[in-house]
Amino acid sequence: MPYIGYFQAIAAVDKYILYDHLAYIVNGWINTNRVRQRNMPECDIVVPVQQKSSYKLIAETEIDNSKPWKSKILKTLQLGYAKSAYYKEVMPLIEDIISREYTGISELNAVSIRKICEYLDIKTHIVSDCSQYFQIEEKLQAIDNADYSSLPYMEATKPIRKVARVIAICRQENADTFINAIGGTALYNKQEFSKYGINLQFVKTNDICYDQNCKDGSFIPNLSIIDVLMHNGKEKTKMLLNEYSLV
């Protein structure tokens, strides 16, 4: 249940691909996020996974359901948000998402993102089945050896695999625009994408601030969408989804 900028990116596009055919990032955000305890700093909510490794794909990473992660997360949210303005409205949504049975972390993430998008009336077409892109993955394997024979049009700039993957998917989708979170500026280059007929843009979230119901009035940005919903409710959160610019 990522931060609001993630949902702004989803809302900004026609099709959003939940691409899980990538290496699992140990100690990353795939199974972790942050919320706020009332009158305290932020704290982590974590879904434990089995044998976490950067040598495994996200799609192959299973949840460790031997641990009571569901009750622990729900208890954390209850303690942190029970007195929030929209707790009674939002908590049933979160409980519905978390209480379901999941095997893989990819499945949980896909369900949570879809359910929150439905709740916020985001109509973007979300794709979670990556099998249609497996042929691209096979062709990308040779790129590490600077062999672009499987993707000869890539000779124009000879991009690294992470960049080549996006360009190839855009090409397969007949997409003329690719929109990424602002953190992608460190990896993706507008000039390079333009050589493939793709307009590269980044979602830059505006400075969003709201009452987090803390006595000291402090504000911690970029917490899970859970925090935004608990304090703003559905309608205000829908308005906040528009608080961004494309750069």
Q: What is the pLDDT of residues 138-186, one digit of tens each?
A: 999 888 788 999 999 999 999 999 999 999 999 999 999 999 999 899 9
Percent of the chain with pLDDT over 70: 100
Average pLDDT over residues 19-38: 93
Question: CA separation (Å) from 77 to 58, 96, 110, 160, 207?
Answer: 26, 14, 20, 41, 25
Domain ranges of the chain: 4-128+206-246, 131-204
Neighbours of 245 (CB within 10 A): 12
Residue 215: pLDDT band (50, 70, 90) is confident
Check if the beta carbon of residue 17 is closer than 8 Å to that of residue 30: no
Q: How far apart are CA 242 and CA 8, in angstroms?
A: 7
Tokens 């972790």 correspond to what residue? 32
Tokens 């993706």 correspond to what residue? 188
For 148-155, which contacts have Cβ atoms below 8 Å and span 24 or more sequence positions?
A: 153/196
Model confidence pTM above 0.85: yes
Percent of the chain with pLDDT over 90: 89
Q: Which helix (H) or strand (E) covers residue 16, if one does?
A: strand 15-17
**Over 80: is that where the pLDDT of 217 sits?**
yes
